[in-house]
Structure 1
Amino acid sequence: MTDSFQASYKKLEYEKVIQQLSQHTVSTLGRTKAQEILPSIQEDQIIRDLEETEDAVMLLRLKGGMPLASYEDIRPHLNRVRMQGTLNGEELAQIGRILRTIREIKTFFTKVEEEKIPLKRLFEKIRDLDTFAKLERSIFSVVDEGGYVLDDASSKLKGLRQGIKQTESRTRQKLESIVRGPQARFLTDALITMRNDRYVIPVKHENRTTFGGVVHDQSSTGQTLFIEPQSVVDLNNQLRQYQVEEKNEINRILRELTLSIEPYREAIGHQLNRLVELDVIQAKGRYAQAIKAVKPRVSNDNKVALLQARHPLLNDDEVVPNDIVIGEDFKTMIVTGPNTGGKTVVLKTLGLLQLMGQSGLFIPAEEDSVMGIFSSVFADIGDEQSIEQSLSTFSSHLTNIVSILSDIDEKSLVLLDELGAGTDPQEGAALAIALLDAIAQKGSYVMITSHYPELKAYGYNRPETINASMEFNVDTLSPTYRLLIGIPGRSNAFEIARRLGLNDMVIDSARQLMSGESQSVDQMIQDLESKRKEAETRAEKAKVELKDAQKLHRELKQAYTDYQNEKDALKKEAEKEANAYVEKAKLDADAIVKDLRQRQLEGGQQGALKEHEFIEAQSKLSHLKAEEETLQKNKILQKQKRKRELKVGDAVEVQSFGQRGTIVEKADNKQWVVQMGMLKMKLPESDLVQLKQEAEPKQKVSVRRTSSGGVSTEIDVRGERVEEALNRVDKYIDQALLANYPQVTIIHGMGTGAVRKGVHQFLRKHSQVNSFEDAPANQGGSGATIVKFK
């Protein structure tokens, strides 16, 4: 990296962006790693980094992010393990917390994969992430989160600590009897304290021999002595012995636990590095959310189109978004306009967003923005006057530009602020043009800002070069900070002077002093601005109309999709109901045939009904269930069979059975009772095709009428007591079964829910009920129950 390239990072404030990014990490290791991020010039690396950031943004949106808890730098701990040192409890707890975080991340991604969340890179990133569940359990069976060695770490430690507690309790009891008893008058204060890890009491100097024992300390005045009374010396000795043994036992436990880490040391170090990478990736996602950034598309031929781009370090209420385009139709952009109009901000925005994109960061712009891949981004921005080196602003800028010219190539992006400023205007303009020609010869991409009118003509005449300007509102005498590509900036001095009250005569005189060329250029720019505003108005109108048309198209497309889905669903439901009806008819027919056989056997009528006739009937009945797709076939035949009105006595063909029969009775508007040999069945009119009447002697048929015309398909028991309602429902279901209803509706209302509960309990026990459920919302919801029979 060249010095001028690195200096451009600072001028473009790239380091500030990286600093903001690092604040979204959860660890010092992640923060350090984030601060080391640099732009890449490798397309595959850039795409991979952007896709990792995209995965992080998706996980933050759908799952709240990866379960990354704050973790410490355990590399020194692992190094001490390598040197066979012993870790303390806190250090072991830190390792344990990292192992737990690794395990939780592995579990998290397993669930994400099960949920089929379409990640592009992170599944591959965590594929070799190992867990150390056994070691993690071992650590946390010895120490807690803060590193304190638990009592249950060993039976010996538990016994020692119990001994410490008991000895401390006895010692305090003895001392309490002194500080609370009659001997308290010999003390300077009624308290128990510690000196040299031993319990003592504050005794007045003149009473030092009252309690015997050992003096461990005295006050600064010498009036108070901290004495260990003779009565507790043995207890303190015993306590001290317990404490020494406790310390030795803790050291032994920690040493053994440290040794158990050694086989996993290198693997843990590797997993720590992967954890840091995930920390940085999630930080990129959080930063993208914070600045409302999007993933740019990558153009390897450097056709940059940053749509509604914003400077990431400016507040949303301060920044005006701009479309910044370079690289396709032109490689050089010359931005002119008034001071404080936003030219420098646009310059920095282009350079900074390009550096962010090449670093794998999302950019604050609109969707479908395109970034390039530049080998280097150079910037000469701001006042570089150097007092130490006795360099003027012009000299300092020129020194930077000379350095830049020596480093650029055909894939460099050059950003120059106020090119040629700081010297004689005529010479400065000539020098600026010469520098632009030199940069163009290198094939670099360049955006400059300038005040020189000569550069406006340069931008118009040179190939692959375009003028641009920052819009200025003459009415309010203030800049709008909008970048206008294709229109050079014009002087607004005369308009501003008139607004500020300067005499028109003076303004007209000034106009006459301007050269004709300058006036014509100014007029040309004014006309361009007028046409641009007119074009913007038309474009905005077209944009609204296009948006409305796209919305209508989406709605129509969705409506068509919904229609197709509903049609398919209704078709499947109809086929399902038809098959269910046929299946029920088959069961009914089987029952009739069985009944006929039984009656034949009981009656002893030999030859009246042949066995092969029963077999043939059952074979045909077994094929009653039609394939779902064939139920809607033969539409022409269905139309033909409805041409003539059916009546009692007509010969018909039953389509579902493939049998001939005779109509003996009309059951209701859509159903007829048909005699087929020994079988008599109630069939829908749509299943019957009228046949030509054959000349054959009529047979007298005995008919037993069963009509369902008087039974409703629903019953209302609202307002009744549970017992009364259940009695009515029981009788009603019997009637519905006799009427061959496939389903009925019981209206019980909501109320307290007692009737509904009772009805549901009754239905669960009924032998003929197949299923029941609450009615749809538009049919009563939980206030009614739909019952389906077997």
Structure 2
Amino acid sequence: MKNELLGQLDLGEYLERFSSFLARQKELFIPGDSKIHFECILELSEHDFNPPNKIKALNDELMRLSKNGVLHVSEIYEFAKIISYFSYLKKLKFQGSLSRWLDKIILPEDMLQIASSFDKNGELKDEVDARLVDLRHALKLKGEEIATALRQIAYSKSLSSYLVDTQIHYINESETLLVRGGFNHVLKASIVARSSGGHFYVEPERIATLKREQSRLNDEKQMIIYEHAKAMSERMSKALAFLKFINGAFDIFDAYSARALMAKSLDLEFVLPKDNSRIVLKDFAHPALKNPKSISLDFSKKVLLITGVNAGGKSMLLKSIISAALMAKYLLPMRINARQSQIGAFKEFDAIIEDPQNVKNDISTFAGRMLHFSRLFSKRGLLIGIDEIELGTDFEEAASLYSVIIEQLIKNDVKIAITTHHKRLAMLLAKNDEVELVAALYDESTQRPKYEFLEGTIGKSYAFETAARYGIAQNLVAKAKELYGENKENLNELLTKTINLEADLKERIKRVQAKESKLDELISAQKEANESEFERTRAIVARLEREYNEAINEAKKAINLNNTKDKQRAINAANERKKSIAKPKQSLNQNEPIAVGDSVKYGLSKGVVLAINKKEATINSNGISLRVPLYALKKYHNNAQKPAPSVRLSVQKPKSASVSLDLHGLRVDEALEQLDKFISDALLAGFSEVSVFHGMGTGRLARAVSEFLKAHPSVESFSDAPANAGGYGAKIVRL
């Protein structure tokens, strides 16, 4: 992918962060079936696993093995790390696509044996060759002998008058002493270097002899290691096909691992591209923004034309659309409501955002844009973003030209997101069924952009208002309005009113839909209550029928008895059974009369009595008015809403309040309990900002902390801490 496009979309920092999770650098695209990759990434995200260690690229090593070359032992160790890691993965209890993929990877016994020959530091293990054990021991002793000899020489009386200091100086990889001239009278040594003060760094002859012996031992060790490297390389050359496969498989898993770890660390989600060109974003946030307003939109047609207020987020909306589609294509995690979002699949991405004018290429802004557009006509399955489309030429001419160009690109199955300040292009394109409009909104009361968007309308640029807000004198703004023309300004006012009315209408529709949803919930709850009451009544009736029948049967027994006393006893038993039958009691609220304003329950629903008419009452439940039988109501006593007037609360600031909380090592339930108390203490202490340290780990605690802070009514906002204050392992919480 072009770095230029990533820079235009402000994704550079995000991708640098993603790269930090990779064991080795690679292309973003994962070859193969995207659906299977998606399933594997989701499955991996649900598991705790050790991420792979850093691995170097092994293409050159594979090429040398194909020519029966001998690899260095450190290069063999890189393959050993890959094989050992897959051996570890196959022991984990994965299921689904990831398990099936790992089951297909068979690790040859010969390669497992090579992998097991190394320790965690990349050294051949002692059991590989007994000679290595002896040599390592000999080298250790020789090193100790050299160190002892140096100390003896440094502290010898004969040399003390010539020594500058008693330190051991490493010069040109040699252990040396720093001495004054004339040292040769008491010490046989060779000069290695001269100091800036005119002294000499010397290597004593005794030390040189010991180091030659040490070098000889090292040479023997390296010859033995070479023997094993040669033998292993021969075996690896025979298994070249497997090594190429496992090297590629490692790249695939590394791509899975980086995505899963990043999603856990930053509480992100994945979206699998659909086989269409529709883009539906729900609560998407561009990764370059700090504490952004999330965006939601439905871009189902071919062209999205974004108009409206200056500095209102039009360019960032455009970048967000392209970025979301690009991140979905490469299965990268993003901040989004994945369940309610849908992103189509696109072959290519492009953006015309920056000014192409450059003194080196001798090209104007408009000419550069025309050159870029001319290359688009051969594209298919392209998603492109164009910022300030009319830039560089007369906007009236540009509107006519671009309307024709865009209509042709629509025919070529190109999907386009466009921002513009000028309404002429919007009006020309609005007639096309494949064009949808979005306007950036402006808050008239605060004279500031809302960074929100309204679908289906053309927005006003608010150039005059923006100029005044940023310091242009009011008399200059008034003069500009006069030059602009009364009719055009009236049109702008009409446009503003239309946008505000539409926004208000959509808000009313939203409230009505919410009320409908509440009504549906109420109806559903009442239906469940009615069904429950029916079942309860049916059970009572069945019980009464059974118990009365048993009493009647006892009475019938008396008819067949001859003895009068027996008859009397049977009748008495029947009467006792009759008396013991528990009859259901029906409460008609005779003990608690209901009045207007009372809180009541009707089945599972709660409400307040608005009016009473004979045997019926009207209640309000969650904004819904219901007429219900009076006898079916029960008073609902909510003690929390009517505290006794005699109760007094005395709140004191905590004596040990702190501005930071460390949750490392705690279980999620323990951590959240401490976090809840910590925030309460911070509020009582009057703190406006505190720090919470949770660490990164598996991401489970970080996600739990984020969800808790989102739901806490006293938390105004929170964000990841700066790098020097905990970074992604901490949160800065504003109260």
**Which TM-score applies when normalising by structure 2?**
0.60
Partner of residue 363, structure 2: 391
Identity, % of aligned pairs?
A: 17
Matches within 5 A, 1:724-735: none
- Any conservation in 2 of the 1:54–1:285 contact (CA below 8 Å)? no
Tell me how far apart the structure 1 counterparts of residues 319 and 525 of structure 2 sit (CA, whole Å).
Answer: 39
- Equivalent in 309, 329, 342 of residue 358 of structure 1: 329
- Equivalent in 256, 260, 265 of residue 281 of structure 1: 256
- Any conservation in 1 of the 2:281–2:343 contact (CA below 8 Å)? yes
Distance apart, 1:495 and its partner CA: 7.2
Mapped pair 1:22 → 2:19? yes
What is the DSSP-based 3-state SS (H/G/I as helix, E as strand, rest coil) of the residue aligned with 1:63?
coil
Distance apart, 1:320 and its partner CA: 2.6
- Equivalent in 268, 293, 299 of residue 326 of structure 1: 299
- For the structure 1 residues 435 and 291, does the alpha-carbon distance in structure 2 shift closer, same or farther, using more than 3 Å as the test? farther
Mapped pair 1:129 → 2:105? yes
Per-residue CA distance 1:649-691 (angstroms, 9 max, x = gap): 9999xxxxxxxxx9xxxxxx9xxxxxxxxxxxxxxxxxxxxxx
Partner of residue 155, structure 1: 130
Per-residue CA distance 1:522-575 (angstroms, 9 max, x = gap): 4255134214313313414533662685599699989999xx9xxxxxxxxxxx
Give the CA RMSD over aligned residues: 5.3
Distance apart, 1:136 and its partner CA: 4.1
Distance apart, 1:381 and its partner CA: 2.1
Partner of residue 303, structure 1: 278
Mapped pair 1:59 → 2:44? yes
Return the letter of the residue paired with 2:346: F
- For the structure 1 residues 206 and 343, does the alpha-carbon distance in structure 2 shift closer, same or farther, using more than 3 Å as the test? closer
Tell me how far apart the structure 2 counterparts of residues 346 and 640 of structure 1 sit (CA, whole Å).
Answer: 76
Per-residue CA distance 1:502-535 (angstroms, 9 max, x = gap): 68997999599533x8735742551342143133
Tell me how far apart the structure 2 counterparts of residues 107 and 296 of structure 1 sit (CA, whole Å).
Answer: 29
Return the letter of the residue paired with 2:285: R
- For the structure 1 residues 558 and 340, does the alpha-carbon distance in structure 2 shift closer, same or farther, using more than 3 Å as the test? farther
Distance apart, 1:434 and its partner CA: 3.2
- For the structure 1 residues 106 and 490, does the alpha-carbon distance in structure 2 shift closer, same or farther, using more than 3 Å as the test? same
Distance apart, 1:456 and its partner CA: 4.1
What is the DSSP-based 3-state SS (H/G/I as helix, E as strand, rest coil) of the residue aligned with 2:86?
helix
Partner of residue 315, structure 2: 344
- Any conservation in 1 of the 2:274–2:345 contact (CA below 8 Å)? yes
Tell me how far apart the structure 1 counterparts of residues 322 and 391 of structure 2 sit (CA, whole Å).
Answer: 21
Tell me how far apart the structure 1 counterparts of residues 167 and 435 of structure 2 sit (CA, whole Å).
Answer: 89
Tell me how far apart the structure 2 counterparts of residues 147 and 508 of structure 1 sit (CA, whole Å).
Answer: 74
Tell me how far apart the structure 1 counterparts of residues 495 and 502 of structure 2 sit (CA, whole Å).
Answer: 11
Tell me how far apart the structure 1 counterparts of residues 296 and 264 of structure 2 sit (CA, whole Å).
Answer: 21
- Any conservation in 2 of the 1:90–1:146 contact (CA below 8 Å)? no
Q: In terms of mean alpha carbon deviation, does 214-223 or 483-492 score higher?
A: 214-223
What is the DSSP-based 3-state SS (H/G/I as helix, E as strand, rest coil) of the residue aligned with 1:418?
coil
What is the DSSP-based 3-state SS (H/G/I as helix, E as strand, rest coil) of the residue aligned with 1:112?
coil
- For the structure 1 residues 261 and 533, does the alpha-carbon distance in structure 2 shift closer, same or farther, using more than 3 Å as the test? same
Per-residue CA distance 1:327-376 (angstroms, 9 max, x = gap): 3xx43333221322222222222222222222333444323212223344
Mapped pair 1:335 → 2:335? no
What is the DSSP-based 3-state SS (H/G/I as helix, E as strand, rest coil) of the residue aligned with 2:91?
helix
Tell me how far apart the structure 2 counterparts of residues 191 and 428 of structure 1 sit (CA, whole Å).
Answer: 78
Return the letter of the residue paired with 2:396: Q
Tell me how far apart the structure 1 counterparts of residues 287 and 208 of structure 2 sit (CA, whole Å).
Answer: 71
- For the structure 1 residues 452 and 74, does the alpha-carbon distance in structure 2 shift closer, same or farther, using more than 3 Å as the test? closer
Return the letter of the residue paired with 2:94: V
Tell me how far apart the structure 2 counterparts of residues 205 and 10 of structure 1 sit (CA, whole Å).
Answer: 62
- For the structure 1 residues 50 and 483, does the alpha-carbon distance in structure 2 shift closer, same or farther, using more than 3 Å as the test? farther
- Equivalent in 464, 482, 490 of residue 460 of structure 2: 490
- Any conservation in 1 of the 2:193–2:200 contact (CA below 8 Å)? yes
Mapped pair 1:469 → 2:477? no
Return the letter of the residue paired with 1:397: R
Tell me how far apart the structure 2 counterparts of residues 505 and 155 of structure 1 sit (CA, whole Å).
Answer: 90
Distance apart, 1:270 and its partner CA: 1.3
- For the structure 1 residues 642 and 511, does the alpha-carbon distance in structure 2 shift closer, same or farther, using more than 3 Å as the test? farther
What is the DSSP-based 3-state SS (H/G/I as helix, E as strand, rest coil) of the residue aligned with 2:454?
strand
- Equivalent in 354, 375, 378 of residue 407 of structure 1: 378
- Any conservation in 2 of the 1:377–1:412 contact (CA below 8 Å)? yes
Tell me how far apart the structure 1 counterparts of residues 173 and 429 of structure 2 sit (CA, whole Å).
Answer: 85
Per-residue CA distance 1:689-715 (angstroms, 9 max, x = gap): xxxxxxxxxxxxxxxxxxxxxxxxxxx
- For the structure 1 residues 400 and 16, does the alpha-carbon distance in structure 2 shift closer, same or farther, using more than 3 Å as the test? farther
- Equivalent in 101, 120, 136 of residue 145 of structure 1: 120
Aligned positions, number:
550
What is the DSSP-based 3-state SS (H/G/I as helix, E as strand, rest coil) of the residue aligned with 1:467?
strand
Tell me how far apart the structure 1 counterparts of residues 468 and 204 of structure 2 sit (CA, whole Å).
Answer: 96
- Any conservation in 2 of the 1:418–1:450 contact (CA below 8 Å)? yes
Tell me how far apart the structure 2 counterparts of residues 104 and 18 of structure 1 sit (CA, whole Å).
Answer: 28
What 5-or-longer segments of structure 1 have no aligned partner? Answer: 114-118, 565-632, 653-661, 663-668, 670-790
Q: Which of 1 and 2 has greater Rg? A: 1
Return the letter of the residue paired with 1:348: K
Mapped pair 1:32 → 2:16? no
Distance apart, 1:306 and its partner CA: 1.8
Return the letter of the residue paired with 2:242: A
- For the structure 1 residues 216 and 135, does the alpha-carbon distance in structure 2 shift closer, same or farther, using more than 3 Å as the test? farther
Matches within 5 A, 1:494-509: none
Return the letter of the residue paired with 2:244: G
Tell me how far apart the structure 2 counterparts of residues 525 and 201 of structure 1 sit (CA, whole Å).
Answer: 85
- For the structure 1 residues 131 and 551, does the alpha-carbon distance in structure 2 shift closer, same or farther, using more than 3 Å as the test? farther
Distance apart, 1:473 and its partner CA: 1.4
Mapped pair 1:546 → 2:517? yes
- For the structure 1 residues 559 and 95, does the alpha-carbon distance in structure 2 shift closer, same or farther, using more than 3 Å as the test? farther
Tell me how far apart the structure 2 counterparts of residues 194 and 326 of structure 1 sit (CA, whole Å).
Answer: 67
- Equivalent in 405, 421, 444 of residue 435 of structure 1: 405
Partner of residue 34, structure 2: 49
Distance apart, 1:484 and its partner CA: 1.0
Mapped pair 1:106 → 2:90? yes
Partner of residue 269, structure 2: 294
- Any conservation in 1 of the 2:460–2:495 contact (CA below 8 Å)? no
Distance apart, 1:282 and its partner CA: 2.1
Tell me how far apart the structure 2 counterparts of residues 475 and 194 of structure 1 sit (CA, whole Å).
Answer: 73
- For the structure 1 residues 425 and 402, does the alpha-carbon distance in structure 2 shift closer, same or farther, using more than 3 Å as the test? same
What 5-or-longer segments of structure 2 have no aligned partner? Answer: 536-541, 567-572, 574-735
Return the letter of the residue paired with 2:22: T
- For the structure 1 residues 299 and 522, does the alpha-carbon distance in structure 2 shift closer, same or farther, using more than 3 Å as the test? farther
- For the structure 1 residues 265 and 559, does the alpha-carbon distance in structure 2 shift closer, same or farther, using more than 3 Å as the test? farther
Tell me how far apart the structure 1 counterparts of residues 40 and 85 of structure 2 sit (CA, whole Å).
Answer: 19
- Any conservation in 2 of the 1:425–1:452 contact (CA below 8 Å)? yes
Q: In terms of mean alpha carbon deviation, does 471-480 or 281-290 score higher?
A: 281-290
- For the structure 1 residues 177 and 649, does the alpha-carbon distance in structure 2 shift closer, same or farther, using more than 3 Å as the test? farther
- Equivalent in 94, 98, 112 of residue 78 of structure 2: 94
Tell me how far apart the structure 1 counterparts of residues 330 and 546 of structure 2 sit (CA, whole Å).
Answer: 72
Return the letter of the residue paired with 2:500: E
What is the DSSP-based 3-state SS (H/G/I as helix, E as strand, rest coil) of the residue aligned with 1:461?
coil
Tell me how far apart the structure 2 counterparts of residues 541 and 553 of structure 1 sit (CA, whole Å).
Answer: 18
Return the letter of the residue paired with 2:87: R
- For the structure 1 residues 546 and 58, does the alpha-carbon distance in structure 2 shift closer, same or farther, using more than 3 Å as the test? farther
Return the letter of the residue paired with 2:452: R
Distance apart, 1:103 and its partner CA: 0.5
Return the letter of the residue paired with 2:508: T
